[in-house]
Structure 1
Amino acid sequence: METTNSETGAPELAEPHLRQLLGAAGLAVEYVRAEGNTLYLRGEEGEEIPVTDFAGGYGSVLLGHSHPDIVRCARELLDAGTPVHAQFSRHPYANRLAAELNRIVHRELGTEEPYFAIFANTGAEAVEAAVKHAEMDRVMRLADLRGELAKAAASARAAVDAGTATVPERLRARFGIVGAMDDATALRELVAHVTPLNEARLDRRPLFLALEGGFHGKLGLSVQLTHNESYRAPFRGLAAQARFVPRENPEALREIHERERGAVFALTVSGGRVDVVEREFPVFCAFLVEPVQGEGGIHVLSGEFAGEIQRFCAEIDCPVVVDEIQSGMGRTGTLLASSPLGLRGDYYVLAKTLGGGIAKTSAMLVRQARYRPEFEIVHSSTFAKDSFSCTVALKVLELLEADDGAVYRAARERGAALRAVLDGVAADFPEQVREVRGAGLMQGLEFHDQSAAASDSVRELAATGLFGYFLAGHLLREHRVRTFPTASALNTLRFEPSVRLSDVELDRLDVGLRDVCRVLAAGDGARLLGRAAVAG
């Protein structure tokens, strides 16, 4: 496939297929400048055209594009020649960033337990770091269990050799030990039978738990923890195995555990008799949870289900990885969207707004009770933990915390104003809008499925699988409003603007969404494609 740039005549080599899809949906525009809650696209005459940005860098620019304090910080760092590449040395700026994250997390969780920080570049990389650490912890726990099983077997052998314990007939029959033999020989047979069974079970590949609709990245490991089948299927053979839990369904947790749980045989001595009991071992490496599912359609986790997940994971000793990549960093009114739910993670993953819309950085936090210092030797990242990104992230936290958390309050207030607009549209167009969901400045508007629409043109657009992108293209072309559908729920438009969102911009969104609904009500698929003028 070869695509040619219509302006230059040169071949398109940077993701040309995606470029074609954007063009079909009316989204293939070039943005030349960004400021506040506005992106400026280049018009046909080279002029700048302002566009209200409700996509917000998929949640990366809570503080707005080109925030002056962050830009100033970045310039000062670059002008001073701050070292970006000083690996394997002291990084006091990274330590200050970890300490500030801990201070805020402690306040929100009401805990003093330290969280150790591993820094990365992107959210998906931070997810992979969390999952790798969780698997290292699981493997080390399995090693401890192997040692305990060996110690238990040695204790049983010592008791039999001392004549203080016997191997009863019931136990011999259970494991197929037949024929007349003394207790010491029977025990050796028993151990020889049980040991390879245990090893086979302990060598089982780990399982991960994640919620249906969840999105945790598209890298080799993280993509298998993302629920969208079209993302996972081509790479199924590469990495992790996940079991996806239906949202708000605590019964499913028990069912999955009962079906997948693992147990080994442990020798015990009680009342002068050797016995074998089952001991559960950690099959489940981690449970990944988004407090607000971004790409899955902006679904908010309930406090009740969060509590069920917490209790379940504590019972089976499965760590909870709270993915705050899109929902965290103040977007819903607190640093962690999970903290008001009462959900406490063993791991937290932060990214996007952490870099202030300029630095590419992320952080994986691990609570002390789970932390394995050995991980620091086997995991690293060339561009992580550098002076530039850490110092910019510190400036972001400073801005979030300033004026007793004014940004958090603004996120709640502006989020409520955004929600009021979306609720108003939904109330006036119930035949077009199915539901409004979200928290703070992370909202979603789900449209009804149009695959059975009366209009042939609308039905054809729905059949492409890109329906939400055509709606977004209409909003951009006709109303200079920028948004996208969520990646795994294409009938849901996302709204993740900055805290600098104005009432004028909300009015523009209101007008645009009402126009979209009227176009759908009229069955005018041609207009969604921008063809109304041609048809006329």
Structure 2
Amino acid sequence: MNSGRAVPELAEPYLRGVLATAGLDVEYVRSEKDTVYYLDGQGEEVAVLDVVGGYGSLLLGHNHPDINDYAVELLSSGVPVHAQFSKHPYANELADALNRILHRELDTEQRFYAIFTNSGAEAIEAAVKNAELDRQLRLADLTARIDTDIEAARAAVAAGAATLPEGHTDADALAEGVRSDNAARLAAGPLFLALEGGFHGKLVGSVQYTHNEVYRSPFSALAAQARFVPPNDAGALRAAVAAEDARLDTLTVVDGQVLRTAVPFPLFCALLVEPVQGEGGIHELTAEFAEQIRLVSQEIDCPVIVDEIQSGMGRTGAFLSSAQIGLEGDYYTLAKTLGGGVAKAGVMLVRENRYREAFEMVHSSTFAKDAFSCLVGNRVLEVLEADDGAVYRRAAERGERLRRMLELIVEDYPQVLREVRGRGLILGLEFADQSESGSEEIRERARSGFFGYHLAGYLLREHRIRVFPTASAMQTLRFEPSVYITDAEVDRLEQGLRELCRLLRDGDPKVFQF
């Protein structure tokens, strides 16, 4: 405690200042379902409708009573959090429960091994690390076969059973040249395929697969590079693959002649995709593109990492939003909802044909796989799966109710709004460019780079509604409430959005004055 002294701003003070410019620097003191509360000047609670939903973490709402009571029970019982490097049956039970759900949704019996994490970004990093370990082991097998072929060719020349290619007189020099060229290609490191608009985290590795240059460029020298392609553009995906020389050379003997031939090698470590892009503006992948992802990844032996961190675990009306479009992955990353709003938990799930058991000895995390978060995760799955998946059905129904409301506003304000995107309870409302508004105040805000946050500030101040834009598409407001959002709350959101649109349409500067 600070004993009443003034405390300097030390915890991300610049961000606090940015929030203050839009009137978003509010301290919330209590929360339940889709409502958060702050204290006014008289110390009275003020209720705010929260449709941010913890950036997708709160499918079951703030402080779900069943999960909270269970969490309190676990902590009161003294359940260990720090019992690393011991038997963890609760983690195995959670992995088994996740497998049963994936088997149902993917119609497969193949096992998925689980690596538990503390966050979604860490789950992405774990998936990429396992994929690279797998790639390196496959490369080792390939280069060993190439070495065997080269030595066999040299032995055939030495025995007089084969002749060298035209222009070559020394088998040793030819072999050394092949090995040197191969080493140069391998030294360049792996490449990754990712989608424009994609977001996979901001850690050292995961930020390199996040498309937004503001987040990525300052750290581009720290990690392997990605090739970004437009979503739903199969031609661009194939062109990105074709642009790279993913071949090594070997020597073979055919009809007594040594030939220098090319063999493909796994240049691409992984292809990362979100079935519904969250931070990129709420864009969905199509079933047709999902099929092309399957074909291309098989052709180049490149594993697919399906990022379900924001769109998965029921938010779109199914446990896996990818399953709804037929997109299958070698890796699945989950987080956010897995913690039930109280635990910081994530998981990377990898198909058994891609899993490398050595990974367990080269990757670890202090807080991952602990009893508290795993047991909470199990309880979350019980809630999701109860009554034959009632939560999934409710997510689809509530999402459709919310989407219909948003589409009606778009119809009524075509000068202000562009479109509604998304599925279930991950929806985006894109605003039209207001940089040429008749209001100088609106023009300045539209050109500030923080337009969506200024829109959010208005809705919070005037309508007690908490909403934010997507991080990489500032013109798009996101809506990710819980499955418990009511018709009355949807109506309240509609009222606030309609008033916002009216002010923008009329060029009324008071929309941004406070």
Q: Distance in 1 between matches of 2:267 and 2:443?
A: 46
* Corresponding residue number in structure 2 for 1:409: 393
Q: Distance in 1 between matches of 2:449 and 2:282?
A: 19
* Corresponding residue number in structure 1 for 2:496: 512
* Corresponding residue number in structure 1 for 2:241: 257
Pick the aligned partner of 2:34 from 30, 34, 37: 37
Give the C-alpha shift of residue 454 in structure 1: 2.3
Does the 8 Å CA contact 2:441/2:512 hold for their aligned counterparts? no
Does the 8 Å CA contact 1:129/1:364 hold for their aligned counterparts? yes
> C-alpha offsets along residues 62-97 of structure 1, whole Å, 9 cap, x if unaligned?
011110110111011101100000000010000000
* Corresponding residue number in structure 2 for 1:222: 206
**What is the SS of the residue equivalent to 1:26?**
coil
Give the C-alpha shift of residue 194 in structure 1: 1.1
Structure 1 unpaired stretches of 5+: 1-6, 531-536
* Corresponding residue number in structure 1 for 2:328: 344
1:440 aligns with 2:424: yes
Q: Distance in 1 between matches of 2:450 and 2:179?
A: 54
Structure 2 counterpart of 1:144, one-letter code? D
Does the 8 Å CA contact 1:120/1:384 hold for their aligned counterparts? yes
**What is the SS of the residue equivalent to 1:232?**
helix
Structure 1 counterpart of 2:308, one-letter code? E
1:111 aligns with 2:111: no
Does the 8 Å CA contact 2:500/2:511 hold for their aligned counterparts? no
Map 1:53-64; keep pairs closer than 5 Å.
53-64=50-61
* Corresponding residue number in structure 2 for 1:99: 96
* Corresponding residue number in structure 2 for 1:158: 155
Give the C-alpha shift of residue 290 in structure 1: 0.2
Structure 2 unpaired stretches of 5+: none
Structure 1 counterpart of 2:121, one-letter code? A
Give the C-alpha shift of residue 372 in structure 1: 0.5
* Corresponding residue number in structure 2 for 1:205: 189
Q: Distance in 2 between matches of 1:239 and 1:525?
A: 45
Pick the aligned partner of 1:236 from 212, 220, 245: 220
Give the C-alpha shift of residue 136 in structure 1: 1.1
Give the C-alpha shift of residue 137 in structure 1: 1.1
Give the C-alpha shift of residue 9 in structure 1: 4.5
Q: Distance in 1 between matches of 2:204 and 2:156?
A: 50
> C-alpha offsets along residues 209-266 of structure 1, whole Å, 9 cap, x if unaligned?
1100000001111111110011111112111211111121111112111212321111
Give the C-alpha shift of residue 273 in structure 1: 1.6
Structure 1 counterpart of 2:205, one-letter code? L
* Corresponding residue number in structure 2 for 1:397: 381
Pick the aligned partner of 1:288 from 266, 272, 277: 272
Give the C-alpha shift of residue 382 in structure 1: 0.1
Q: Distance in 1 between matches of 2:79 and 2:450?
A: 44
* Corresponding residue number in structure 1 for 2:348: 364
Q: Distance in 1 between matches of 2:508 and 2:252?
A: 75
Does the 8 Å CA contact 2:153/2:251 hold for their aligned counterparts? yes
Q: Distance in 2 between matches of 1:63 and 1:455?
A: 41
Give the C-alpha shift of residue 172 in structure 1: 3.1
Does the 8 Å CA contact 1:225/1:240 hold for their aligned counterparts? no
Taking structure 1 as the reference length, the TM-score comes to 0.94
Percent identity for Structure 1 against Structure 2: 60
Taking structure 2 as the reference length, the TM-score comes to 0.98
Pick the aligned partner of 2:364 from 368, 371, 380: 380
Aligned length: 511
Give the C-alpha shift of residue 8 in structure 1: 7.3
Give the C-alpha shift of residue 528 in structure 1: 2.2
* Corresponding residue number in structure 1 for 2:129: 132
1:84 aligns with 2:86: no
Pick the aligned partner of 1:24 from 21, 24, 28: 21
* Corresponding residue number in structure 2 for 1:534: none
**RMSD of equivalent CA atoms:** 1.2
Structure 2 counterpart of 1:330, one-letter code? G
Pick the aligned partner of 2:295 from 284, 303, 311: 311
> C-alpha offsets along residues 274-315 of structure 1, whole Å, 9 cap, x if unaligned?
111101111111110000000000001111111111111110
Structure 1 range deviating more: 190-199 or 497-506: 190-199
1:483 aligns with 2:477: no
Structure 1 range deviating more: 387-396 or 447-456: 447-456
> C-alpha offsets along residues 9-28 of structure 1, whole Å, 9 cap, x if unaligned?
53211111111111111111
**What is the SS of the residue equivalent to 1:243?**
strand
Pick the aligned partner of 2:118 from 118, 121, 127: 121
Map 1:6-17; keep pairs closer than 5 Å.
9-17=6-14
1:331 aligns with 2:325: no
Give the C-alpha shift of residue 332 in structure 1: 0.3
Q: Distance in 2 between matches of 1:315 and 1:193?
A: 28
